Amino acid sequence: MLLSLVVLIITSLSFQAAVVVSSVTPPLQYQHPLDPLTEQEITLVQTIVLKKYPIKRNKLHFHYVGLDDPDKSAILKWQQKYSPKHVAKIIIPRKSFVIAIINTQTHEIVIDLKAKLIVSDNVHKGNGFPTLTSGEQDEAFLLPLKYGPFKASIYKRGLNLSEVVCSDFSVGWYGGETKRKRYVRIECFMKEETANIYVRPINGIFIRVDLEEMKIVEYHDSETVPVPKAENTEYRASNQRPPFGPKQHSITCHQPQGPGFHIDNGHSVSWANWKFHIGFDMRAGAVISLASIYDLEKHKSRRVLYRGFVSELFVPYQDPSEDWYYKTFFDAGEFGFGQSTVSLIPNIDCPPNAQFIDAHFAQADGTPITLKNAICVFEQYGNIMFRHTETIIPNENIAESRSEVNLIVRSVVTVGNYDNILDWEFKASGSIKLGLALSGILEIKGVSIKHKSEIKEDQHGSLLSANTIGVYHDHFYIYHLDLDIDGEYNSFEKTNFKTVRVTDGSSKRKSYWTIETETAKTESDGKVKIGTAALELAVVNPNKQTSVGNVVGYRLIPAPPIHPLLAQDDYPQIRGAFTNNNVWVTPYNRTEKWAGGLYIDESRGEDTIEVWTKKNRDIKNKDIVLWPVLGVHHVPAQEDFPIMPLLSTGFELRPANFFERNPVLKTLSPKTVSWPECPK
């Protein structure tokens, strides 16, 4: 590869300092500007911040260390120019955005990683706190075990302290105006005879921890219901007794031409007609960027998605009692979807033909940690791409079918008890299916009830086993999808279906339907509540037309719609206001990434998509972001216990007049190859 002598400089709009440009430092050349921070970069961030704040370790914690989003226009120019074969290179300033709590103040620090200097350092003054660190949570877990009153409570219950494990829970916000401290509540469980701690809660103990002081600041013990039994709660195969079954047969597969995809430099994926970048962020988890699809007919790559990720996950439980009312979790913002991403198990979480991507992120002290197998990429076979059997042409036997290979990018985010399986499925036909599945363990409330006939009043959950209530709750997800359909200036179209009555005798029909397409002008037009009325939603590029004059676009085929059930004036609903619509559309704004707010721990709903969109900004022919909401109201069933088989939902982004015609018409089914016989 020729090294660049011609270097273009793009100055980030949000960063006025001189840009350091280099075409000779080897690591940079191979780095995509959206690649997550490397271990070295995370260490550099740590060094720079600790140098500025040489204070006691426990007074400085890194809550977020990530890539400071490069200026979008710079990235787009870079993408346009970038080609491994071209000599012209554009260097994007490489910066890190850091959120650190230093002496109880929340700092937002931007660091230039090339210049190795702090560009800005501001203190967040508003409500809400950053994502909890894993480190402080691990510390908080252990506090009760050394706390006298807690030990007394355990002995009083006749339980074995050495079998107790605790976990922390974000406390939400339930009114009150005074400045609050960073609290968590701690609940403890019995691990005796089972790994399935969540189903064995020790009820009735109230523990509040002040995270800055790292001590228990409030403690009550009020309860006497027994801990549910361990019997039949173990989920590990290694701890099951025979007989096992039903049996699944093994399969082994081989791709004689190798995989159909290639991951360049660990993050840049090429597959079939798609190219995209897989990033990773401590808060967002897997991030798909710069997805573009090659148009065989136009002989060029066309942009579809600038960036997409899960912006927030709201999980409000539905038990108003003192032990439960506060459980209204924002899993992405409070616990970090990246920080909570777990290692995928090869051959099980992903099939044997998968390739894995590791992730790195900062621990509370700033030291990088590596998460092996954070994301997997694999091809899936077995579906049909399109087909037709034609029977009416005399003397011709036409049966045309093409089998489909899809590319799946998978990650699993486990926040405490629940496992979220997140799939991005790319199709050569241009569709992207976003699959979302839930597994893991239910949150359980211990009760004295052993049989449904004993239930006299609302238990706020389902009786799953003796003494075991699976509490009702919701899972509301919102995606941030910065679509750039064939360019960044896009519009959001709502197509309404209307019944037309024929009254003039012009037809033997009395009615038919037709459509009326409306372009959303402002953010309030972009708010969609899906009801009984038929509706098609699309993001289009009003500046580009197909040869017959349709605007190019992508449809959103939404998941089955979900609507919030909490009262609008209830605190968690104010914070989780993103659930008020099934779809939102906003103009692209660099800072609007988190639909519940950047600082959502103990937030008061002041930085939500509901608040942003009150400005009612123009969204017509603008760079817009689509925010689909999906999820489930979860009434647990006994089958979800002690561990829950996947419950799946999802939605599709499907090209609609984006291509001139079916873009996979010239895609052949993969050649059938036989299992090779060994020579005798």
Taking CB under 8 A as the rule, does residue 445 contact a second copy? no
Cβ nearer to a second copy, comparing 27 with 679: 679
C-beta of 614: minimal distance to a second copy in Å? Answer: 22
Taking CB under 8 A as the rule, does residue 33 contact a second copy? no
Taking CB under 8 A as the rule, does residue 386 contact a second copy? yes
C-beta of 18: minimal distance to a second copy in Å? Answer: 43
Which candidate, 482, 478, 479, 477, places its Cα nearest to that of 589?
A: 482
Residues 225, 204: contact at Cβ < 8 Å? yes
Cβ nearer to a second copy, comparing 118 with 186: 186
Residues 12, 75: contact at Cβ < 8 Å? no
Taking CB under 8 A as the rule, does residue 391 contact a second copy? yes
The three-class DSSP label of residue 334 is helix
Structure tokens at 355: 């390739």
C-beta of 382: minimal distance to a second copy in Å? Answer: 5
Which candidate, 173, 168, 171, places its Cα nearest to that of 573?
A: 173
Binding segment (CB under 8 A) for a second copy, from list 33-41, 81-89, 477-485, 507-515:
507-515
Cβ nearer to a second copy, comparing 96 with 608: 608
Q: Which of 2, 24, 123, 393 binds a second copy (CB under 8 A)?
A: 393
C-beta of 497: minimal distance to a second copy in Å? Answer: 6
Residues 355, 347: contact at Cβ < 8 Å? no
Q: Which of 54, 148, 158, 400 binds a second copy (CB under 8 A)?
A: 400
Structure tokens at 236: 């590990």
Cα angle 602, 171, 62 (rounded to 5 degrees) comes to 60
Taking CB under 8 A as the rule, does residue 389 contact a second copy? yes
| Separation of alpha carbons 190 and 230, rounded Å | 9
Q: Which of 58, 174, 213, 215 binds a second copy (CB under 8 A)?
A: 174
**219 has catalytic annotation:** no
Taking CB under 8 A as the rule, does residue 208 contact a second copy? no
Binding residues for a second copy restricted to 408-437, rule: CB under 8 A: 408, 412, 414, 416-417, 419, 421, 427-431, 437
DSSP 116-140: TEEEEEEEE-SS-BPPPPHHHHHHH
Residues 1, 23: contact at Cβ < 8 Å? no
CA 484 to chain centre: 19
Taking CB under 8 A as the rule, does residue 395 contact a second copy? no
Taking CB under 8 A as the rule, does residue 184 contact a second copy? no
**Terminal-residue alpha carbon distance, the chain:** 46
Binding segment (CB under 8 A) for a second copy, from list 56-64, 75-83, 161-169, 585-593:
161-169
Taking CB under 8 A as the rule, does residue 160 contact a second copy? no
Binding segment (CB under 8 A) for a second copy, from list 104-112, 593-601, 617-625, 653-661:
653-661
Cα angle 129, 131, 134 (rounded to 5 degrees) comes to 130
Binding residues for a second copy restricted to 354-383, rule: CB under 8 A: 378-383
Binding segment (CB under 8 A) for a second copy, from list 39-47, 362-370, 585-593, 658-666:
658-666
Structure tokens at 104: 């109880």
Which candidate, 621, 626, 625, places its Cα nearest to that of 651?
A: 626
In the block, which residue shows the tokens 């360049």?
264
Structure tokens at 72: 């979008």
CA 545 to chain centre: 33
Binding residues for a second copy restricted to 121-140, rule: CB under 8 A: none
Binding residues for a second copy restricted to 614-643, rule: CB under 8 A: 633, 635, 637-643
Q: Beta-carbon neighbour count of residue 511 at 10 Å?
A: 10
Q: How far is CA 510 from CA 449, 450, 600, in A?
A: 59, 59, 54
Binding residues for a second copy restricted to 452-491, rule: CB under 8 A: 452-453, 458, 460, 462-466, 472
Which candidate, 167, 205, 199, 186, places its Cα nearest to that of 446?
A: 199
Reported residue count of the chain is: 680
Binding residues for a second copy restricted to 96-115, rule: CB under 8 A: none
- Specify the amino acid at residue 582: N
Report CA Rg, the chain. 27
Binding segment (CB under 8 A) for a second copy, from list 85-93, 213-221, 304-312, 650-658:
650-658
Binding residues for a second copy restricted to 228-247, rule: CB under 8 A: 232, 235-237, 240, 242-247
Q: Classify residue 473 by its DSSP letter.
A: E
Binding residues for a second copy restricted to 541-600, rule: CB under 8 A: 545-546, 548-550, 555, 558-563, 565-567, 569-573
Taking CB under 8 A as the rule, does residue 152 contact a second copy? no
**569 has catalytic annotation:** no
Binding residues for a second copy restricted to 298-337, rule: CB under 8 A: 318-322, 325-326
Taking CB under 8 A as the rule, does residue 439 contact a second copy? yes
DSSP 295-319: ETTTTEEEEEEEEEEEEEEEEEB--
Cβ nearer to a second copy, comparing 450 with 615: 450
Q: Which long-range contacts (C-beta less than 8 Å, at least 24 apart) are formed by 103-109?
A: 103/55, 103/59, 103/60, 104/59, 104/212, 106/63, 106/130, 106/599, 109/49
Taking CB under 8 A as the rule, does residue 50 contact a second copy? no
Q: Which of 110, 159, 165, 225 binds a second copy (CB under 8 A)?
A: 165
Residues 331, 340: contact at Cβ < 8 Å? yes
Q: Which of 35, 112, 331, 607 is catalytic?
A: 331
Q: Which of 441, 520, 585, 626 binds a second copy (CB under 8 A)?
A: 441
Taking CB under 8 A as the rule, does residue 5 contact a second copy? no
Taking CB under 8 A as the rule, does residue 203 contact a second copy? no
Taking CB under 8 A as the rule, does residue 263 contact a second copy? no
Q: Which of 198, 317, 418, 472 is catalytic?
A: 418
Taking CB under 8 A as the rule, does residue 260 contact a second copy? yes
Binding segment (CB under 8 A) for a second copy, from list 18-26, 35-43, 105-113, 526-534:
526-534
Structure tokens at 324: 């439960």
Q: Beta-carbon neighbour count of residue 535 at 10 Å?
A: 17
Residues noted as catalytic: 331, 418
